[in-house]
């Protein structure tokens, strides 16, 4: 996945199952608390973009943050992100 010039990939295949949003069934949602991701959109296509954006934002705020700047829970999330995903270079 890529967003704002940052490309991430999962180290192992991950299955994220879209489902209708409980609060508003006009939206589809993907939630993965272990990766700090919760995204929703009006279409599955838009949802894919939202998931990519969400994971890149979480990556920037947690995986790339110095350990000293993170709380214990945030540090746990950082370790889960680093175990599940990796940053790959974007070809120019």
Q: What is the CA radius of gyration of the chain?
A: 14
Q: What is the pLDDT of residue 91?
A: 66
Q: What is the pLDDT of residue 17?
A: 86
CA distance to 14, 27, 62, 84, per residue, from 18 (Å)? 13, 10, 24, 19
Residue 92 has pLDDT above 60, yes or no: no
Handedness of CA 44, 11, 3, 55 (dihedral sign): positive
Q: pLDDT by residue (tens digit) across 19-53?
A: 887 788 888 999 888 998 889 899 988 998 999 89
Average pLDDT of span 2-17:
86
* Segments making up each domain of the chain, as ranges: 2-86
């Amino acid at each position: 996945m890529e967003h704002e010039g940052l490309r991430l990939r999962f180290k192992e295949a991950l299955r994220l199952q879209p489902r209708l949003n409980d609060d508003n069934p006009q939206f589809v949602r993907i939630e993965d608390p272990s990766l700090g991701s919760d995204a929703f959109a009006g279409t599955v296509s838009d949802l894919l973009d939202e998931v990519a954006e969400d994971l890149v934002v979480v990556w920037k705020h947690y995986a790339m943050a110095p350990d000293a700047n993170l709380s214990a829970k945030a540090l746990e999330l950082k370790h889960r992100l680093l175990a599940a995903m990796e940053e790959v270079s974007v070809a120019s």
